[in-house]
Amino acid sequence: MGGQTAVEQVTLNRRSELGSTACRRLRRRGLVPGIIYWGGKLEDPDEQRETIPVVVARETVEDLIRHEHTHAVLKAALDGQVLNVLIREIQIDPVDDAILHVDFQAVKMSEVVTVTVPIVLHGTAPGTLEGGVLMQPLRELEIEARVDALPEEIEVSVNELHIGDQITVGDLQLPDGVTTPVSPDELVVQVEAPTEVAEEELEAAEQTGEPEVVGEKKEEDQDEGK
């Protein structure tokens, strides 16, 4: 099923320094540049929804990642008010794993949103005790729900899986009010016979060409104007 999303608190501050050079300067000070934007439909035609450039302490973002709260509804303190926000994107440097930028989306608790949450397996599959290997090709699931009904994760029990058994998206018991656009035939987890796994690994090794080369450092021009 999956427990309802925990509410964590973060402190954000407006920033006036924009552009790549300013963002690099902020990072050297232990701060991560970001933005807050609004999603959903305007209920009031006169409602103003500005995109707000902000900064957040790097330690705060690292803590959210470490404790797997990046899918959670956050209470963001900004300018004396508290906003409900979701983290929509965290840009990370592929070379040194430095946190480059964070996008927050301000939401209303009654608003329906689309998010991606982790799929967490629980229990012990009997098939693994029979010599089989547990495979989980789908580790995250795209879901739609009201903000106040978002689960922090989707829990899947593997206690009944023997060799050859599988669980697809259509088999998942989603919490009330939660739906997914993912095909019900999409494979989530299965127990394969060890010979099948060995053959797949051998085939993958034969098809592998040159070693993967880490790409060049992502350009930071995305920070321009954010």
Q: Is a pLDDT exceeding 70 seen at residue 200? A: no
In the numeric block, the tokens 């495979």 are attached to 135
Query: Which residue, 108, 125, 156, sits at the end of a domain?
Result: 108
Residue 71 sits in the same domain as residue 150 = no
| pLDDT tens by residue, 56-92 | 999 999 988 888 778 888 999 998 899 999 999 999 9
pLDDT at 196: 58
pLDDT at 85: 94
Query: For the range 199-206, what are the long-range contacts, defined as Cβ-Cβ under 8 Å and sequence gap of 24 or more?
Result: none
63 inside domain? yes
Residue 38 sits in the same domain as residue 86 = yes
Q: Is a pLDDT exceeding 50 seen at residue 122? A: yes
- Judged by DSSP in three states, 202 sits in helix
Q: In the β-sheet with 73-78, what is the strand arrangement from edge to edge?
A: 7-11, 73-78, 81-92, 99-106, 31-38, 52-57, 13-14
Residue 104 sits in the same domain as residue 123 = no
- How confident is the model over 185-192, as a mean pLDDT? 97
Residue 25 sits in the same domain as residue 95 = yes
Q: Is a pLDDT exceeding 60 seen at residue 212? A: no
pLDDT at 189: 98
1 inside domain? no
| pLDDT tens by residue, 134-162 | 999 999 999 999 999 999 899 999 999 99
% of residues, the chain, pLDDT over 90: 63
What's the domain count of the chain?
A: 2
Residue 69 sits in the same domain as residue 147 = no
In 3D space, the residue among 32, 50, 34, 52 whose CA is nearest the CA of residue 42 turns out to be 50
Residue 29 sits in the same domain as residue 120 = no
pLDDT at 16: 85
| pLDDT tens by residue, 15-66 | 888 888 899 899 999 999 999 998 755 455 445 567 899 999 999 999 888 8
pLDDT mean across residues, the chain: 84
Q: Pick the more confident residue, 95 or 68.
A: 95
Q: Is a pLDDT exceeding 90 seen at residue 106? A: yes
For residues 112 and 178, give the distance between their C-alpha atoms in angstroms, rounded to a whole number: 10
Residue 77 sits in the same domain as residue 45 = yes
Query: Which residue, 87, 108, 129, sits at the end of a domain?
Result: 108
Domain holding 16, by residue range, is 7-108
Residue 12 sits in the same domain as residue 58 = yes
pLDDT at 206: 61
Residue 28 sits in the same domain as residue 94 = yes
pLDDT at 182: 98
Q: Pick the more confident residue, 102 or 212.
A: 102
Residue 180 sits in the same domain as residue 161 = yes
Residue 156 sits in the same domain as residue 180 = yes
219 inside domain? no
The CATH number that applies at residue 25 is 2.40.240.10
- How confident is the model over 92-98, as a mean pLDDT? 91
* Extended beta strands in the chain, E state: 7-11, 13-14, 31-38, 52-57, 73-78, 81-92, 99-106, 112-122, 133-135, 140-146, 154-157, 166-168, 187-192
Q: Is a pLDDT exceeding 50 seen at residue 222? A: no
The CATH number that applies at residue 194 is 2.170.120.20
